[in-house]
Amino acid sequence: MLVLHGSNGSPFVARVRMQAYAKGLEIELRPAALGTPEFQRLNPIGKMPVLEHDGFVLPESLVICEYLEDAFPTPSLLGALPQERAQVRLICRTVDLYCSGLLLLLWAAADPRLKLNIAEEREKLDKGLNALESFLSADGFAASDMLTLADCVLAPWLFYGAMLTKQGDDALTRRPKLARYMEFAGHQELVRKIWGEMDESYRAFMTKWRAQQQAASAT
């Protein structure tokens, strides 16, 4: 039995969910009680997602994705050739290591209390986006002519990338490959399903967060 502890609003949770859907795996999503002793026992780092598989516990989303590829190799989402597999992993690593600042910029826009060096974070993000623009396929899916783990990582991240675009930021749209991929991804049934789940979770989170902020300001 596969159990994933986390929230659909997290792009790190959503990538595992998208991978599971693509592989036809049944995976139960359970809310992650972050900060509780119970969750700390699952993951001492205290972050989601965490996977449980027949008693085996595993944190870290990319490690989880690699584990699912090993445990359920068919269909493969890593590609057939070594070069294809390397390209998939390259895109995944680029998103995680060099493009995560997108979430910080969005949060800073939503919460003025967050102290953030916007110019510095923007510079880091631009560097990551330039790399991603270089590594992406010119057509079709992110790394090849078929859906791979690169898409499972990139598409949920783009859910929040689209928010940046709606704010009038052209960081993604001025890069031809990224703009092309955003358009392409939006027409994929599996991506739309994941974005729909993320949107529902995100809206619920923001409603709760705003209510908490109003209550705090009233006291």
Cα 34 from chain centroid?
18
More confident residue, 107 or 173: 173
The predicted-structure confidence for 199-219, as pLDDT tens digits, reads as follows: 999 999 888 888 887 777 777
Is residue 215 assigned to a domain? no
Cβ-proximal residues to 95 (8 Å cutoff; 6+ apart), any chain: 128, 132, 153, 154, 157
Domain finish residue from 71, 98, 131: 71
Provide the CATH number for the domain around residue 171.
1.20.1050.10
Tally of CB atoms within 10 A around 193: 13
Relative orientation angle of helices 11-23 and 149-166, to the nearest 10 degrees: 140
Sign of CA dihedral 57, 37, 62, 147: positive
Same domain? For 92 and 53 the reply is no
Same domain? For 89 and 170 the reply is yes
Domain that holds residue 8: 2-71
More confident residue, 172 or 115: 172
User: Taking residues 126-153, what's their average pLDDT?
Assistant: 96
Is residue 106 assigned to a domain? yes
Contact 198, 11 (CB under 8 A): yes
H or E stretch at 69:
helix 61-71
Same domain? For 129 and 171 the reply is yes
The structure's pTM equals 0.94
The predicted-structure confidence for 24-40, as pLDDT tens digits, reads as follows: 999 999 999 898 999 99
Residue 153 corresponds to which amino acid?
A: V
